[in-house]
Amino acid sequence: MNCPRCQHPLAVTHIDDCKTIIEVDKCPNCEGIWFDKDELSQIEDIIEPMFIEIRDIPDKQEQFETLQCPKCNNSPRLQKAIHPRDRKVVIDYCPYCDGIWLDKGELEAIQQENFILTIAKVFACLGHVRARKK
């Protein structure tokens, strides 16, 4: 498979996050990552609290460039979607094979969360649990 962004051959690599190891295809040139169906869902909920969120992702113009699916034989155009966890991340997905392309830095942006927001979520969850016990 070739990179949908820069056409270099993708290299098989592994992402080791906590409980799971996932084999993905990564571009050694632009550092984008191709996730086959359901692979991203296994790791995107892992949250890394940060005091300051620093995103190193492509600008909007680059994120909205047309890309072709590297996996499907007929190379359909990848569709665009805003990631629900980080509205600055535009993911590219194939409606046929359900693969997902993330540009360099997008996975990290999805997994990072402001430390204060993380604490607020914990307290909200605790409040919800206490309310259920009453």
Amino acid at 75: S
Amino acid at 96: Y
pLDDT digits (tens, 9 = 90+) for 2-41: 999 999 999 999 988 667 788 999 999 999 999 999 988 8
Where residue 124 falls among pLDDT bands split at 50, 70, 90?
A: low
Read off the pTM.
0.75
Question: According to the model, what pLDDT value does residue 18 have?
Answer: 62
Q: Are 103 and 62 in contact (CB under 8 A)?
A: yes
Looking at per-residue pLDDT, the higher value among 46 and 102 belongs to 102
